[in-house]
Structure 1
Amino acid sequence: MARRATWVWLRRGLVALLAIALLLALVVWLLLRASLAQLDGEHTVPMLSAPVDVQRDERGYVSVLAESRTDVARALGFVHAQERFFQMDLMRRNAAGELSALVGAMALPLDRARRVHRFRHRAVAALAALPRDERELLDAYTAGVNAGLAALGARPPEYLLLRQRPLPWAEEDSLLVAYGMYLDLQSAQGRDDLAMGVLHDAVPADWYAFLSQHSADWQAALDDSRVAAVPVPAGPMPAALRSTKTACSDCRLQDARDLGSNNFAVAAAHGAEGRALLADDMHLGLRSPGTWFKARMVWKDGAGGHDIAGVTLPGAPLLVVGSNGRVAWGFTNTTSDWADVVTLQLDAAGTHYRSGGVDKPLRRSVERIEVAGGEAVEQVVRDSEWGPVLDLPSPPSQAYALRWVAHDPEGMNLRLFHMETAGSVDDAVQRVAGAGMPAQNLLVADASGRIAWTIIGAIPRRVGLADAGDMDRPQDWSDGRPRWQGYLSPAEQPRVVDPADGRLWTANARMVGGEAMKLLGNGGWDLGARAMQIRDDLRAQQRFDEASLHAIQLDHRALLLQRWRRLLLDQVLTPEFVTANGLADYRAEVVRSADAARPDAVGYLLVRSFREQALQSILAPLAALMEVHGLKLHDLKIVPETPGWALIQAARPDTLPGGHASWQALLQRAVLDSRRVIVERHGRLASWGQDNPTNMRHPLSPAVPVLAGWLDQASQGMAGDSHMPRVHNHGHGQSERMVVSPGHEELGILVIPGGQSGHPMSPFYRSDHAAWLAGEPLPFLPGPAQHRLVLRP
């Protein structure tokens, strides 16, 4: 009887526990459902001047139909908050150095690095300086964000996991989102200049010129300017580039700076039916949700009206790239030089620096960093008249200040929103002159068939430099001669309008030569192979439509690798070497499948890995030199392909890095080492797709692996790589693909990775993802409305 009673109580206990678990699961499910965006019905939003229709098609592509642009901004803020608030929160906190207050002490190192820039302080100052129309737009958007957040039935799910409550949105937070793009797109923050200074001081002038040259083999500047190759110096390689006494702990090669993007355009003479067309695919780190949010915005304006569509950035009230029916526009990062490092001449106490022949005190401010679950910490930030003092390893008597466009008032405003109402190429270029944003290559096409390129963003006027190369290294400004003397006027900024060839392209490489190149400087230009491939694709046809420009976006032919493939087959994989090391299968794959970065191509991964290992071996002493100074090889503004290939072709014994018996021995060791790494990682000679998955993860899934399948986007092996139009390199790739002809938007293409919503239970969390993975087009404009929400005053 006692045993039976025990069993009955045990069974009742298990049933009770199961009931409690089911009840908890139900509560969690109800909370998650309550935090979904409202798709249908009505909702009251304060300060609207008239009702606003918010429509969604079957993929969640949003259309906002309103009486005024400020009402559009309120409604867009409402929708952004409901679909993407956690993403917006991370972006403002990242720029402001406030992540620790949300996720705890693990974020302190990043917060400390961000606080040097005092971006929240700068955002407040920039907000006060905005023109009235820009401030009204921002105020309306902020009110909409807070209304949308308040309208959710429960906190967004990430805050439930973190046991936090979201803080309201402030007007300056939208500017912090823009500062976050500065941090993404101009991420060197002075380390590149410091690295180039170390290199300059360590090697003779001819070797510095050789190593720092831009590529003469891969050139595709818009003005057809060319740079001459700098040959391998006649003298022996300096010890700093050959020595193996100090090994590098991190010898990895950053072959491309991953700050990419492509855009290209054809004028009416080369567009189907006499139309100008523009293509744009911005390359960023891929995550879930993605960076962009698709929106169509329609509003009245007196007797006329406006109808714009493209992608927005959650946290900001603007259309970033897209079309307004008369003008289409798109961006790529310039990778030009928007910051200088200033060597500070400090006094013995380290409290004053020399400027203009007099000593001036370093300004000190205390930044308080809140930490979730811990005590707040304080950080002292020191500032000079040129910018903040960098927090970098250096001797006690030496310090450096960062002079960066992002720190100046000219670097931040909302002038980009005037692009939404531009009527022509000339009007567009005029309206956005002086836009405060990370400097971009702007391509514009208009409904009359014209196209243009220019730089959008503030360009500093540098004076007092001995030569343009001084921009690449730390500079002593203490005597007042070298300095920034304001910014270039719009008329002084380089541009190309109505090119004779009817084609324009940009891909983060050098765009212009001569004096214009000196104005822009080199901030780590891409090699140029990608730009050349796009240019040649454009010149291979006489007429294009949306589908043929989209095909260029998906071009993954491995043109750069073909000379490395020939090197392998002709000189490295000798019969004796292949037989002695069991490389018959390796050689067969190099022959068979190295022509393109296809997911199933084993040969592509083999040749790519061989090239990377060979360049890494050549530059290993240089990597060690950088590490001695607290820097990395990838901090250098050099293109490894150019000097590395030249040294291999010269094959001189006096330029051979230490530790190798001959150049052939170095290359054969690169084969064996790169093959070993692949086999260790994958268990066999893997394909490129197995090594290059999509890997779009939610920020919280690494911390909660059990939820990764729910939070992360579907992953698969991807075509493409860094040096070809279809960029996809281990989670860095095309954050959108857009092709559009202004005035013919119904024929256009617009696809984003992931989907519209940031909520994993939303039907729109993965709505575009399958098409993006497959390289399939989706319509530029939203389809028929499946949901309708009316926002009322």
Structure 2
Amino acid sequence: MAWLRRLLLALLGLLLLAALGLWLALRASLAPLDGERSLPALGAPAEIQRDARGYVTLAAENRLDVARALGYVHAQERFFQMDLMRRNAAGELSALVGPKALPLDRQRRLHRFRHRAEAGLAAMPADERALLDAYVSGVNAGLAALSARPPEYLLLRQQPSPWVAADTVLVAYGMYLDLQASQGKDDIATGLLRDAVPADWYAFLTQHSADWQAAMDDSRLQAVPVPVGPLPEVLRAARVACTDCGLQDARDLGSNNFAVAAAHGADGRAILADDMHLGLRSPGIWFKARMQWKDGAGSHDIAGVTLPGAPLLVVGSNGRVAWGFTNTTSDWADVVALRLDAAGSHYLSGGQLKPLNRAVERIQVAGAAPVELAVLESEWGPLLPQKAPAGQAYALRWVAHDAEGMNLRLMHMETAADVDEAVRWAAGAGMPAQNLLVADSTGRIGWTVAGAMPRRAGMGSGDMDHPQDWSDGRQRWQGYLSAAEQPRLVDPADGRLWTANSRMVGGEAMQRLGNGGWDLGARAMQIRDDLRAAERFDEAGLHAIQLDHRALFLQHWRQLLLERVLTPEFVAAQGLADYRAEVEKSADAARPDAVGYLLVRAFREQALKQVFAPLAGLVEANGLTLRDVKMVPETPGWALIQAARPDTLPAAYRSWPELLQQAVLASRKELIAKHGSLAGSTWGADNPTSMRHPLSLAVPALSRWLDQASQGMAGDSHMPRVHNHGHGQSERMVVSPGHEEKGILVIPGGQSGHPLSPFYRSDHAAWLAGEPLPFLPAETAHRLVLRP
């Protein structure tokens, strides 16, 4: 047996050597933190300083050298994340991970974003292109300077491809895909509803809530009452059972920002708060950076968060102006119903038949043969895959497809001197249209839409919500609005501004913006009321609003349960005493330990699903989901439940009380099956952090190494502290321009994307706990000098 022992020892030695080799390879791919390195493109030496959490300060002689240094550090800390972002937008993931990514790549190739990015570079202004080229040179220098390729490529057995200028444009296109996710499906689904029900029912179902409104100009929309006639048959009985009956108010295209002017800020200061809501993952989307340089206008010192893959400060402060974004959820795309010839190769436009352009996209696939995909395009945009009526096809007219939708104009926010200049630069910025809030060092605040806004001709607000026939030329886009035509609110009399993805303003501005799936408004209302509950705020006061998880929105559903559904007879018959007790005692806030909150939330979702199951089945039969329809089920659903008319009852139920009781029993049963018991059905158990690394999703054994610590989280969709099943606050920022030392900036996870880095989880514990971290970097702990 001695030979067997020697063999086992030899095998153990080989395993240890292999593990040591792997560990050394992983260590070799860590970013160097101290010393000196060469970056040939630099005009003068630059420094990359890091504090103990890895928060980076970049100091250089000019803005182009700062861009080179930023590209260098992005590549060394986050290159795999950057690679995934460019490949996702371009439809090139299969070349990295193999055939499993082909379905997503096919979806992405519809937009031909690689082609559009390369075409757009030729028209980019010289100052923007110079910044981009400087960044690209820094990225490739930083990648080349690593002693080994980033660890993800070892597992994938791939080599990272160099960065090119078009890749940065693709990263920005990726944000379009995230933030304007419907890409025409909402118009098609809403058109199905419009064609299926009478006009009065369509107006009722698609109304924006009159109960949950918080527009910044205090404008209001009138409620549309329940129609006099009975529920249309198509909404009464489900012809096709829905499999995804989810509610649109869980779309999660969210973010909050709010600001107070000098009259309401501590020490007479304007203060801005911003928390952008995105899917949470590891590493997080943002990278904190402070950037310092000089030019002919003097010295510049800016800080905030950057997006790895791009050379710009996305949100932050330049000492004179602070700015932050939320998604507008307004209407930035239209679906054109093309009229085709018998062969399906030509479409009608201006009274003439025009040929569809056919572009062939070649998709490279790791470990398999390339795949070719034909993309058909009209003058208005590519043809969508959704089924259209006979003799028609749907084409997508989208801002993201136009040259106006992509540029680096946001770079000028870094040097804006005041609110007025910031608002001017925002108009026409090449980015997914965002609510921009700004505050300046003189105490002023303002709002506008950052991004290109199409000038629609021959179209009312309702025409923007369903497919349209543009063949006679009456309906069309006539270029884009000028800066003077874009909506804005500057120096409001109230001294407060807020946005939270719901309707921002009324009147003509609202008509120009359109409804791209506005949030209900409960979150915006809670923020507005929090801002108006006190006369003066400091940074801690605004940070507290970001963490407000009181369940004000759900209280009318809680009252419905207690007063009309959980009757003594029903509770006794079904053994619901513990259910009612939890609803009574723990439904006031979305706390991790709250059972009552989850019970009320689940009851609401189940009740609305039961009311709208026939509609969900209708749209699913056409390849869409209820989430795609431009309606918020809360408003019409609540109105139907309150009216409780027998002629508006879904056919599956004999009475409205029966429907509501079944919603209690069904939701309770689902929660117990999921969590094991009613007592175990806490909101935290249902709503964990779940910040996964892309590779741990494919290889679960890597989860403990790659994923961030998970815990049950406070917060939900309809309150300021948004956290809904892995979607939440991707950063929390509070800052007063000129007083950055008092500000707050926290990101989930950490600065580095390398799991062996000391900065991989550096901010995560504070983010979980809702603790503030300083807006500016702390004392320098590491210094890396870059020399030409």
> What's the TM-score once normalised by structure 1's chain length?
0.99
Residue 422 (str. 1) matches residue 413 (str. 2): no
Q: 1:633 aligns with which of 626, 629, 633?
A: 626
What's the counterpart of residue 432 of structure 1? 426
Q: Can you give the 5+ residue segments of structure 2 that lack an aligned partner in the other structure?
A: none
What's the counterpart of residue 173 of structure 1? 167
What's the counterpart of residue 585 of structure 1? 578
Structure 2 matches for 1:572-721, cutoff 5 A? Answer: 572-685=565-678, 686-721=681-716
- The CA deviation at 1:422 is 0.4
What's the counterpart of residue 333 of structure 2? 339
- The CA deviation at 1:246 is 2.6
Amino acid at match of 1:523: G
Q: 2:7 aligns with which of 9, 13, 23?
A: 13
- The CA deviation at 1:514 is 1.0
Give per-residue Cα distances to partners, 1:17-62, cap 9 Å, x unaligned.
Answer: 0000000000000000000011111110121000001100000000
Structure 1: distance between partners of 2:786 and 2:173: 31
What's the counterpart of residue 302 of structure 2? 308
What's the counterpart of residue 753 of structure 2? 758
Contact 2:270 2:737 in 1 (8 A): yes
- The CA deviation at 1:396 is 6.0
Give per-residue Cα distances to partners, 1:394-439, cap 9 Å, x unaligned.
Answer: 4563211000000000000000010000010011112332111000
Q: 1:146 aligns with which of 127, 140, 153?
A: 140
Residue 737 (str. 1) matches residue 732 (str. 2): yes
SS at match of 2:291: strand
How many residue pairs are counted as aligned between the two chains? 786
Structure 2: distance between partners of 1:99 and 1:111: 7
Structure 1: distance between partners of 2:121 and 2:153: 28
Amino acid at match of 1:489: S
Residue 75 (str. 1) matches residue 69 (str. 2): yes
In terms of mean alpha carbon deviation, does 121-130 or 203-212 score higher? Answer: 121-130
Residue 478 (str. 1) matches residue 467 (str. 2): no
Structure 2: distance between partners of 1:253 and 1:693: 20
Q: 1:106 aligns with which of 74, 97, 100?
A: 100
Distance of aligned partners of 1:303 and 1:603 in 2 relative to their CA distance in 1, 3 Å threshold: closer
In terms of mean alpha carbon deviation, does 631-640 or 275-284 score higher? Answer: 631-640
In terms of mean alpha carbon deviation, does 250-259 or 727-736 score higher? Answer: 250-259
Contact 2:644 2:656 in 1 (8 A): yes
- The CA deviation at 1:303 is 6.4
In terms of mean alpha carbon deviation, does 240-249 or 500-509 score higher? Answer: 240-249
Amino acid at match of 1:735: S
Q: 1:260 aligns with which of 243, 254, 260?
A: 254
Amino acid at match of 1:746: E
Structure 2: distance between partners of 1:247 and 1:716: 35
Amino acid at match of 1:82: Q
Q: 1:352 aligns with which of 346, 350, 353?
A: 346
What's the counterpart of residue 717 of structure 2? 722
Structure 1: distance between partners of 2:297 and 2:120: 34
What's the counterpart of residue 499 of structure 1? 492
Q: 2:293 aligns with which of 284, 299, 302?
A: 299
- The CA deviation at 1:502 is 0.2
Q: Can you give the 5+ residue segments of structure 1 that lack an aligned partner in the other structure?
A: 1-6
Give per-residue Cα distances to partners, 1:469-510, cap 9 Å, x unaligned.
Answer: 010000000001100001100000000000000000000000
Structure 2: distance between partners of 1:275 and 1:145: 38
Residue 570 (str. 1) matches residue 563 (str. 2): yes
SS at match of 1:112: helix
Structure 1: distance between partners of 2:249 and 2:379: 35
Residue 779 (str. 1) matches residue 774 (str. 2): yes
Distance of aligned partners of 1:433 and 1:251 in 2 relative to their CA distance in 1, 3 Å threshold: closer
Contact 1:62 1:296 in 2 (8 A): yes
Structure 2: distance between partners of 1:668 and 1:8: 73
Amino acid at match of 1:328: A
Identity of aligned pairs, percent? Answer: 78
Structure 2: distance between partners of 1:423 and 1:650: 54
Distance of aligned partners of 1:35 and 1:396 in 2 relative to their CA distance in 1, 3 Å threshold: farther
Amino acid at match of 2:236: R
Structure 2 matches for 1:541-556, cutoff 5 A? Answer: 541-556=534-549
What's the counterpart of residue 400 of structure 1? 394
Give per-residue Cα distances to partners, 1:670-724, cap 9 Å, x unaligned.
Answer: 0000000100001012110010000000001021111100000000000000000
Q: 2:202 aligns with which of 208, 224, 248?
A: 208
Give per-residue Cα distances to partners, 1:190-240, cap 9 Å, x unaligned.
Answer: 000000100000000000000000000011101111000000000001001
Structure 2: distance between partners of 1:122 and 1:526: 31
In terms of mean alpha carbon deviation, does 771-780 or 511-520 score higher? Answer: 511-520
Residue 232 (str. 1) matches residue 207 (str. 2): no
Contact 2:47 2:60 in 1 (8 A): yes
SS at match of 1:608: helix
SS at match of 2:288: strand
What's the counterpart of residue 4 of structure 1? none
Contact 1:754 1:767 in 2 (8 A): yes
- The CA deviation at 1:627 is 1.1
SS at match of 1:779: coil
Amino acid at match of 2:253: L
Q: 2:553 aligns with which of 560, 563, 585?
A: 560
SS at match of 1:697: coil
Residue 199 (str. 1) matches residue 174 (str. 2): no
Amino acid at match of 2:586: S
Amino acid at match of 2:517: G
SS at match of 2:620: helix
- The CA deviation at 1:252 is 2.5
In terms of mean alpha carbon deviation, does 307-316 or 679-688 score higher? Answer: 679-688
What's the counterpart of residue 217 of structure 1? 211
Structure 2: distance between partners of 1:43 and 1:734: 36
What's the counterpart of residue 287 of structure 1? 281
Structure 2: distance between partners of 1:488 and 1:433: 9
Q: What do you get for the CA RMSD once the two structures are aligned? A: 0.7
Residue 251 (str. 1) matches residue 245 (str. 2): yes
What's the counterpart of residue 744 of structure 2? 749
Structure 2 matches for 1:458-537, cutoff 5 A? Answer: 458-465=452-459, 467-537=460-530
Contact 2:427 2:486 in 1 (8 A): no
Amino acid at match of 2:149: R
Residue 364 (str. 1) matches residue 353 (str. 2): no
Structure 1: distance between partners of 2:426 and 2:130: 18
Structure 2: distance between partners of 1:718 and 1:536: 24
- The CA deviation at 1:379 is 0.1
Amino acid at match of 1:579: A
- The CA deviation at 1:253 is 2.5
In terms of mean alpha carbon deviation, does 283-292 or 246-255 score higher? Answer: 246-255
Amino acid at match of 2:5: R
Contact 1:345 1:353 in 2 (8 A): yes
Structure 2: distance between partners of 1:406 and 1:37: 35
SS at match of 1:208: helix
Q: 2:85 aligns with which of 85, 88, 91?
A: 91
Contact 1:256 1:526 in 2 (8 A): no
SS at match of 1:476: coil
Q: 1:37 aligns with which of 20, 27, 31?
A: 31
